A and B are shown apart, each in its own frame.
Chain A
């Protein structure tokens, strides 16, 4: 018997080795549901923002199964999800589609290959950084950071445009200028930070364990 392995085009074998589905199942929240999709398309059709996605959910699921790793993880698509849950409600196989979308986005972020300029991703990061500081969302700073997300000139433009609403909120007590200096926090800020740190350690250990 001749040695078959020497005759194999290992480059092609690697290229077509479909292990991305397994990677998703192991690393993405609710990823083991992906194989259950029967490609009916009701999620894509039901998505209120679907027309703006490069790849609607059922297409993403097919791409995962086809091993299109880079196209999926670098896609802006799952960042478009607004968690309206229309897809989950209508999915005939009860796939937790919303969670899978967030799971894919989160996994791409962990790998550091997420689309950097995507506004939803940027806002999510701003929101998290803001929240993690004091344990409460500082809406004034969140707004300011959001307005200046795309540079100072753009920020001033947006801020001026929103000035009327801002003043109204100040008047009705929905916004406080005190938030600019420190702002409100949770009672035990030290404990809060310790809790977040512990959670991050646990998450890191979980991710390491599954890799």
Chain B
């Protein structure tokens, strides 16, 4: 790693999701030196797990590919994967970051031929698919992974499988002796773009996510539609693989709730409206979608999308926060209990599959934040002078959709550029 050049005019971008990529590109394309620190083995973040974007219903792979090409073509950007910032010292214009780099056990020789995965037997939870299936111990995180380089699961090291993988590699890319490294990098400004994670659905006790097979989250539902996802793109439910034609969406699952996340996660209404089109896409007029909501928050141009979904006769809107879910033991159907507040009708509705429109929380715990930074009650980073030359980008600053995360990241890039420009002027 000694080949990385970092000075106090370097911008450090923490997190290589859509916000981190955007901030890095904006800064690098005006000539700034940028280092991207990504925790997982590839960049792209949660966007790589999406089937379609709202409201245009286009595929995120498209925009992602453009960004990846921009990154690959730009000599000002260095990407460190499987790396985490553990400490940050100094001040705006003069930071030193401590970075822990985990071993990948695969070096740059890798051609992504897949010979190692062919011979390996051990399987591990596939994080890319929210652990709904397993992948081999030697794996490519996903089809669009950048860098396009295999990874070995740490749990394989020391086993025969690992040796088999090494022996199968024709280009000598597997290095079983790789060790964890700690490096220090200088930086003038830091863009903190560590993004979000879905709220832990099991904490919403009455909805039985941890007890009922056919209650899943919106992020998991998104993976079902991916042709390379856990079901090969089939919209089937977990318990018995039956086609999920009658699907219920529960809004504000964990959001706007004093017992869970106090904030509105902003994306979930549009996510469910979007996902209702997935059911129609698969089953046409056999689709039967119910959306249980408190109020639908589709602002500006999103309202057109909402109206379109409202016009779909296969989609029903029920103004009600579902009270609880129980399982019909005979057919595995979740049964939703509650009161429809339009008419005050009590219901016990059975569905094939229930999707919790899960809330968004910062991916870094506010109590164990690795650097000193001002966060609000929800753990999102505040824009505060005390943060010096550290600027939040995207969902580390607030619950945002991709569009607004990208705008936010661009703004953060400008703030970081201003800091390193001041340093450049001072140094002449």
Contacts and interface: CB of A to CB of B under 8 A. Distances in A.
A101 to B, nearest CB: 16
Nearest to A51: B346
A74 to B, nearest CB: 18
Given A38-B294, A45-B337, A58-B341, 5 more contacts: A40-B321, A42-B321, A45-B322, A45-B339, A59-B341
Given A50-B339, A94-B258, A59 B323 contact: no
A92 B339 contact: no
Contact of B258 (A40, A45, A51, A93): A93
Interface string A142-176: 00000000000000000000000000000000000
B341 A41 contact: yes
Contacts of A90: 206, 259, 323
B273 interface: no
Given A40-B321, A50-B346, A92-B252, A45 B259 contact: no
A39 interface: yes
Contacts of A56: 339, 344
Interface in A37-61: 38-42, 44-46, 50-51, 55-56, 58-59
A194 B337 CA distance: 49
Given A38-B294, A50-B339, A50-B346, A45 B257 contact: no
Nearest to A38: B294
B324 interface: yes
A76 to B, nearest CB: 16
B203 interface: no
6 contacts: A41-B340, A42-B323, A44-B323, A44-B338, A50-B346, A92-B321
Contacts of A51: 346
Interface in B329-346: 337-341, 344, 346
Dominant SS among interface residues on chain B:
loop
- Tell which of B256, B319, B344 has the most Cβ of chain A within 10 Å: B344
B349 to A, nearest CB: 12
B339 A41 contact: yes
A58 B258 CA distance: 17
A59 B322 contact: no
Please list the 10 inter-chain residue pairs (A to B) with the smallest Cβ-Cβ separation, ordered nearest first: A45-B323, A45-B338, A40-B321, A92-B257, A44-B339, A41-B341, A42-B321, A46-B323, A94-B258, A40-B294
A39 B323 CA distance: 13
Contacts of B256: 92
Interface of A: 38-42, 44-46, 50-51, 55-56, 58-59, 89-94
B48 interface: no
User: Interface residue tally of chain B, by bracket?
Assistant: 20 to 34
B317 to A, nearest CB: 14
Contacts of B257: 92
A38 B340 CA distance: 14
B242 to A, nearest CB: 27
Contacts of A58: 339, 341
A46 B324 contact: yes
Interface string B180-216: 0000000000000000000000000010000000000
Interface string B339-358: 11100101000000000000
A42 B338 CA distance: 7
Contacts of A44: 323, 338-339, 341, 344, 346
Given A56-B344, A92-B252, A92-B321, A41 B338 contact: yes
Contacts of B337: 45
Interface string B281-322: 000000000000011000000000000000000000001111
Contacts, number: 64
B321 to A, nearest CB: 4
B233 to A, nearest CB: 35
Given A58-B339, A58-B341, A41 B321 contact: yes
A96 B257 CA distance: 14
A51 B344 CA distance: 11
A121 B321 CA distance: 30
B210 to A, nearest CB: 17
Contacts of A50: 339, 346
A92 B258 contact: yes
Q: Which of A46, A55, A56 has the most CB atoms of chain B within a 10 A radius of its CB? A: A46
Of the listed residues A38, A91, A92, the one surrounded by the most CB atoms of chain B closer than 10 A to its CB is: A92
A24 to B, nearest CB: 20
Nearest to B322: A45
A40 B252 CA distance: 10
Nearest to A40: B321
Contacts of B259: 89-90, 92, 94
Interface in B139-187: none
Contact of A45 (B252, B295, B319, B320): B320
A39 B341 contact: yes
Contacts of A46: 206, 323-324
A135 B344 CA distance: 43
A57 to B, nearest CB: 10
A44 B337 CA distance: 10
Contacts of B294: 38-40
A50 B341 CA distance: 13
Interface string B232-257: 00000000000000000000100011
Nearest to A89: B259
Most chain A CB within a 10 A radius of its CB, from B206, B252, B321: B321
